[in-house]
Structure 1
Amino acid sequence: MTRPSYPAARRADVSDVLHGTPVPDPYRWLEEPASAEVADWLAAQAKLFGEAELAGRERFRGRVAELLKSGSIGVPAWRGERRFFMRRTPEQEHSVLYVVDADGAERALLDPMALDPSGLTTLDTWQPDKEGRLLAYQISVGGDEESKLYVMDVGTGEIVEGPIDRCRYSPVAWLPGGERFYYVRRLAPELVPQDEEQYHRRVYLHTVGASPDDDVLIFGEGLEKTNYYGVSVSRDGSWLTISASRGTAPRNDLWLADLREGDIAAPALVTVQEGVDAQTGLHFGRDGRLYVFTDRDAPRARVCVTTPDRPGYESWRDLLPEDPEAVLSDYAILDDLDEPIMLAGWTRHAISEITIHRLETGERIGSVPTPGIGTIGGISERPEGGHEAWFGYTDNTTPPTIQRFDARTGETTLWAASPGTVDVPPVKTEHLVYPSADGAEVHLLVISPVDRDGPRPTILNGYGGFGISMTPGYSASVLSWVEAGGVYAIAQLRGGGEQGEEWHRDGMLANKQNTFRDFEAAAEFLIAEGVTTPEMLGISGGSNGGLLVGAALTRRPDLFAAVVCSAPLLDMIRYEKFGLGATWNVEYGSADDPEEFGWLWAYSPYHHVKEGVDYPATLFTVFASDTRVHPLHAWKTAAALQHATSGERPILLRNEAEAGHGARAVSKSVELAADQLAFFATHLGLKL
């Protein structure tokens, strides 16, 4: 291997002094993507990546594409006489929204490729009205996630509203009749300070067909600029719920209003919780009870009951108490039975299960049969009640399916499968436990060939942030890697949600380095167990997982041979200034605060690149339209590593245009996966 000739990157004498600490930033000029200097540097990086020899790229491209021909299927949403669901057939670039009418006839309602044959338009979210006659949906272009909202007449397909802009991440809460809805929209750019256009959300009441300029402001004036708002209206239209959380904080304030009394344009909001360090949501039962889903005094979550006229904490009574081991994730009520029941979805060490309980008392009376040891997503019932529930299911070798549970018979049957037929390779999945540096028990999923023997090239993946759980699921990339002879491991690190909210908080803010220690301990465990060796071990992560592998790369470069770091946060001193960074200071801390600066400064990967270190082969993959995590994090750190590394292993940058942080066309996913797997194969010694 010969050391690459890296593009010239000017090292500027730029430094800040924060809380008495000098903070050098020699590549700050890379924060200006519109400059000619940055454009030239990116072009040179693209040339370098294009010339890289990546073993097996064509093989991986073909196999990932083939395994993605499984397609996908989504859980149905029932409204009136219609049901709505998403499905992607083997040849489709994007999932399509379908509707099934009262007569059983199915038709495509929204096809992103019909809207834009280039494949750059994505369907971000959708919400039918309560009667199933109108559909609010949001689309964005090129991966920027800047959703525009439209309303469609479901019967005719006619667009009756839109576009309404500034609706990124907006919930839509329809009132009965489909004439009005509550929703969330950002203020116009000219009304907010410069560089704050991504913030300043408000809750509005909108009348279909009227100008959004005439929307009625309902909530949000004068509150925290980074607040996200949730809004919902009960099935019968009687109750409005509004929640507010500062950025991605694991807590929310919560209010409700009785819409039967007073003006829907000026609802009389009653506080359910405010200033409480907990997350809580409400469901208004058809039986008149108020169901409270909360992690207040219950890090693994519980369901309480009260009545809408007494919504405060002092009136809550446990229905489903906190489980000492499993995390409560979802529930559904089936009441068209002699004895109404509640279905409760749980994850036990990230493996899903559903239990059955008497609705009146919460007593457990059974469990729902599930297809295997995997992940259940979204238990759905008919809004008007019934005896059936639907839920998604997937595992490491099973493409998404929809299962139907009939409470009258107690049976679970396959309702709908992903439409494609694929040859899934046989793999072995092990659920292991290992000790972290402080003795904490961490769980690890290891997917490998059935006949695994001796150490093999291994990819270790993790996330460890925002309370997000790493659960089993069908992955064309993982299966392609394991089929080729490699091992793929997924660590359930602190910072995630696999063990509940306490597990999350043990890996955030001042505790963030627990996440990194858990990840490094996973690597050491895999090596000690003979699964792999440092020369055959690679690490992979994206977004917050990109921060994870960036920290591991700079903390323990001796432990890994290759790194794929995707859409990462890496400059943790300036991250709040770009993208949606200011909404994450509740997860990481802020450099403006002296104590929190200390946390960030202790691990910020960009600032911990040291000259003269033989760094692992590293591939940064970033996306030009990413409005969540700006590509500058990877640009600056790639430049720093190319300057600093003493070895011959390459530091490469893959900068993709017209793609963003989230949804993308299948063909773009195939190309990205092929490049990442081929990079690992080349530098971990996978024999193809």
Structure 2
Amino acid sequence: MLKKLLSAAALFALIFPVTAGAEQDAEDPFLWLEEVEGESALNWVKAQNTRSLAELEADPRFDDMYQEALAVLTSDARLPLGDIHGSYVYNFWVDETHVRGIWRRSTLEAYASGEPNWETVLDFDKLAADEGENWIHGDIVCLNPEYRHCMIEMSYGGKDAAVWREFDTRTKTFVEGGFYLPEAKSFLDWADKDTLLVGTDTGEGSLTDSGYPRTIRILKRGQTLTDAPVWFEGEASDVWVYPVVEHDDDETYLFAGRGKSFFETEMFFTKALDGEKEKLNIPLNADYSGVFHGRKTNPLAIYRLREDFDAGERTYFSGSLVGVDLETGALTEILRSSDKQPIQSVGIGEDEIFIQYLDDVSGKAARLRPGGSKGGWQKKQIKLPENGVINLVSVGDDEAVFTYESMNSPTALYFVSDRNKAEKIDQMPAFFDAEGVVVEQRFATSKDGTKVPYYVMGKEDVLESGNAPTIQYGYGGFLVPILPVYYEDPSRPQHGALAGSMWVKRGGVLVLSNIRGGSEYGPGWHQGALKENRQKAFDDFIAISEDLIERGITSPEKLGAIGRSNGGLLMGAMLTQRPDLYAALDIGVPLLDMKRYNKLLAGASWMGEYGNPDLDDEWAYISQYSPYQKIVADQPYPKVLFYTSTKDDRVHPGHARKAAAKLDDLGYEFYYYENIEGGHGGTANQDQLAHRTALEYVYFAKMLMGD
């Protein structure tokens, strides 16, 4: 009788009492699920995994979908995107043989010819096996221009917190007795071959309230972290501080960034470790791109502005590219940008700057060179294919590597030389038959009258017939644009290659939503959904859903939606605000409890995006949408899929756990999958990613196509 009356979550709480140290709260009976590796919480997770996987993996479509995903994710035909460093191009490569990946290099000459001559620099699979550790690769920071001395970031299972070890690219070995940082969320850069600038956890007072470094230390070779003197210090209320070092022949430029919020940064500059640091005359909302050392200018620190800046003698407008003269402190405008043509990425060469920008969400590229009329800058368009996505991969001295792709056109690799000629040097093969598959850009009208673009991908006959099983993807935050790519970020199952092979070919339709919160139309598009305006991103997504239904493309019975991280918050809002619109919701590594998000892991760092729930006036608007608090009884909720990762040390797995447990307590059905490793990506290798992707598409097939 007891089992019939109690939900699964409540029953687990009785059978497996909360371990010592777990918080209890009468207003939140599921707070015990925030204890990441608590015995009770993990037993609940394992039970949910067993129940959900048994059903999803038993679907006759699962095995085929898993193999299809694995084939795409581990194909040798993927493009080897790399970073140019001197006469070499470095690339990180994962395939069926190298599950954890290899770091390798080719000569630039061979790479530019389309026939790279790869040599392995570091094999992470062999390293993990030799050391008996579950190493997952992270960043690699090397000392320019020689690119011999490197710091390699490796995490246990894919967490943000990681170990750093010194590596020699000449001997291809870790340096015995070299620089080493223990597991922490760390930032570092090379001052010289015997000196690092390091922000890391060195004990009490060294971290911000967000859990990131508060101090930067000068770490000399052979010195311990605690003996290293503090070079720069922020406040506990800051998000983080971090070092940046730029090297140009005999010149070194040292910067300290102080993140006052996730988007607001003060930058300080000096040319010597013992020199006085000067605060740069730049607004807080600006993105640093590097130092330009052109022959016709003094060294310039390059920034993209995200707000208008009144510098006294003139105003520099939001979206513009500007330079701060590191000799005089003066500002110069390099390129004024509009909301219709926002700059997305910047690469700095020896004598020019390369940019990639959008034009109504379509990709463009150009190179900028000082010496234009009246001492300005010349802009020269780079001729790349139209009506697709252009990505700036890497920049050398005066050459650059770009990619071009669209949702139904495989990614192509272009090498741009100093002659401004873009030569296609490689192209990814098609991962699905795109015959008859169309991609169309359309616009919906949001609640406040704003026109919101979205992309539709499907077979032409499916779109003409209408009422098709449809998956709508959205994110809507943190300046992240959602672009119609073929193969960009493999952790996002909505890109063209995976969606085409796993969904579209089966008669499904994929929709990408360019809602506010991203940067598709510049900084203003992002600011339009900040803090008290967050509901506008939700309204945009709903408007697209309603437009799809009104056009007859789909119906509420066949419409599903997918989002992860901040997009998981979006999905939580769709669940609680408009459950009538969706038959399926895939909610990945989500933020859901917005009352406590700033107290969980890195959550405090995002208050610049969402607001502070501890302040009454800010909780007043956050509380209007916080999904966890909005889950109530007697609603037409679809049977949702939650997924998260135990090792996610960015977005706490407690968000997904508690929301699922609350649904269960109220009698709703749901699927739940929590990978025990994998960090915020949710997976630790391509095999795990293929498995999770297959679970997601099988879920949508069950809910939108039937058994």
User: Shorter-normalised TM-score: what interval?
Assistant: 0.7 to 0.9
**C-alpha spacing 1:365/1:615, structure 2 compared with 1 (3 Å):** closer
* Structure 2 residue aligned with 1:211: 224
* Contact persistence 2:179–2:221 (CA under 8 A): no
* Contact persistence 1:342–1:357 (CA under 8 A): yes
* Structure 2 residue aligned with 1:57: 62
Q: Take 2:409 and 2:629, find their aligned partners in 1: how far apart are those partners? A: 42
**C-alpha spacing 1:572/1:350, structure 2 compared with 1 (3 Å):** same
Q: Which moved more, 1:114-123 or 1:550-559?
A: 114-123
Query: Percent identity over the alignment?
Result: 25
Q: Take 1:102 and 1:564, find their aligned partners in 2: how far apart are those partners? A: 42
Alignment of 1:395 onto 2:409: no
Letter in 1 for 2:391: G
**C-alpha spacing 1:448/1:600, structure 2 compared with 1 (3 Å):** same
Alignment of 1:682 onto 2:702: yes
* Contact persistence 2:162–2:185 (CA under 8 A): yes
Secondary structure class of the residue paired with 1:238? strand
RMSD: 3.0
Alignment of 1:309 onto 2:291: no
Alpha-carbon offset, residue 157 of structure 1: 1.3
Alpha-carbon offset, residue 273 of structure 1: 3.5
* Structure 1 residue aligned with 2:692: 672
* Structure 2 residue aligned with 1:16: none
**C-alpha spacing 1:558/1:631, structure 2 compared with 1 (3 Å):** same
* Contact persistence 2:645–2:674 (CA under 8 A): yes
Which of 479, 482, 488 is the matching residue for 1:470? 482
Alignment of 1:285 onto 2:293: yes
* Contact persistence 2:260–2:266 (CA under 8 A): no
Which of 228, 236, 240 is the matching residue for 2:254? 240
Alpha-carbon offset, residue 325 of structure 1: 1.1
Secondary structure class of the residue paired with 1:451? helix
Alignment of 1:114 onto 2:121: no
- Residue deviations 1:627-653, cap 9 Å, x none? 11111111111121123356xxx3121
Q: Take 2:187 and 2:412, find their aligned partners in 1: how far apart are those partners? A: 28
* Structure 2 residue aligned with 1:582: 604
Alignment of 1:142 onto 2:157: yes
* Structure 2 residue aligned with 1:172: 189
Alignment of 1:451 onto 2:461: yes
Which of 571, 576, 600 is the matching residue for 1:554? 576
* Structure 1 residue aligned with 2:356: 345
Query: What pairs with 1:164-563 in structure 2 (closer than 5 Å)?
Result: 164-168=181-185, 170-175=187-192, 178-188=193-203, 190-191=204-205, 198-222=211-235, 224-236=237-249, 237-248=251-262, 250-259=263-272, 264=273, 266-273=274-281, 276-287=284-295, 288-295=298-305, 296-297=307-308, 301-305=319-323, 307-311=325-329, 315-332=330-347, 341-361=352-372, 366-382=380-396, 385-386=397-398, 388-398=399-409, 400-408=411-419, 410-417=420-427, 422-426=431-435, 427-452=437-462, 453-473=465-485, 474=487, 475=495, 476-479=497-500, 480-563=502-585
Secondary structure class of the residue paired with 2:699? helix
* Structure 2 residue aligned with 1:651: 670
* Contact persistence 1:300–1:327 (CA under 8 A): no
Q: Take 1:354 and 1:275, find their aligned partners in 2: how far apart are those partners? A: 26
**C-alpha spacing 1:34/1:242, structure 2 compared with 1 (3 Å):** closer
* Contact persistence 2:383–2:422 (CA under 8 A): yes
Q: Which moved more, 1:587-596 or 1:80-89?
A: 80-89
Count of matched residue pairs? 651
Secondary structure class of the residue paired with 1:326? coil
Alpha-carbon offset, residue 477 of structure 1: 3.1
Alignment of 1:85 onto 2:112: no
**C-alpha spacing 1:8/1:258, structure 2 compared with 1 (3 Å):** closer
Alpha-carbon offset, residue 677 of structure 1: 0.5
Alpha-carbon offset, residue 520 of structure 1: 0.8
* Contact persistence 2:323–2:331 (CA under 8 A): yes
Q: Take 1:272 and 1:199, find their aligned partners in 2: how far apart are those partners? A: 23
Alpha-carbon offset, residue 611 of structure 1: 0.7
Alpha-carbon offset, residue 351 of structure 1: 2.5
Alpha-carbon offset, residue 115 of structure 1: 1.7
Alpha-carbon offset, residue 278 of structure 1: 4.1
**C-alpha spacing 1:615/1:102, structure 2 compared with 1 (3 Å):** closer
Alpha-carbon offset, residue 34 of structure 1: 4.5
* Contact persistence 2:292–2:349 (CA under 8 A): no
Alpha-carbon offset, residue 601 of structure 1: 1.0
* Structure 1 residue aligned with 2:490: none
- Residue deviations 1:151-195, cap 9 Å, x none? 1111111211243124535242443xx23232322333x5569x9
* Structure 2 residue aligned with 1:17: none
Q: Take 1:33 and 1:580, find their aligned partners in 2: how far apart are those partners? A: 14
Q: Which moved more, 1:536-545 or 1:267-276?
A: 267-276
* Structure 1 residue aligned with 2:313: none
Alignment of 1:30 onto 2:33: yes
Secondary structure class of the residue paired with 1:186? coil
Letter in 2 for 1:405: V
Secondary structure class of the residue paired with 1:165? strand
Q: Take 1:423 and 1:119, find their aligned partners in 2: how far apart are those partners? A: 37
Alpha-carbon offset, residue 222 of structure 1: 4.1
* Contact persistence 1:538–1:684 (CA under 8 A): yes
* Structure 1 residue aligned with 2:680: 661
Q: Take 2:349 and 2:246, find their aligned partners in 1: how far apart are those partners? A: 20
Alpha-carbon offset, residue 223 of structure 1: 5.3
Alpha-carbon offset, residue 97 of structure 1: 1.4
Letter in 1 for 2:185: R
Query: What pairs with 1:4-15 in structure 2 (closer than 5 Å)?
Result: 7-9=8-10
Q: TM-score, normalised by structure 2?
A: 0.85
* Contact persistence 1:614–1:645 (CA under 8 A): no
Alpha-carbon offset, residue 372 of structure 1: 4.8
* Contact persistence 1:300–1:499 (CA under 8 A): no
Alpha-carbon offset, residue 120 of structure 1: 4.2
**C-alpha spacing 1:238/1:30, structure 2 compared with 1 (3 Å):** closer
Alpha-carbon offset, residue 533 of structure 1: 0.3
Letter in 1 for 2:641: L
Structure 2 gap segments, 5+ residues each: 14-24, 111-116, 309-315, 488-494
- Residue deviations 1:362-388, cap 9 Å, x none? 555542122453333335332xx33x2
Q: Take 1:68 and 1:276, find their aligned partners in 2: how far apart are those partners? A: 39
Secondary structure class of the residue paired with 1:234? strand
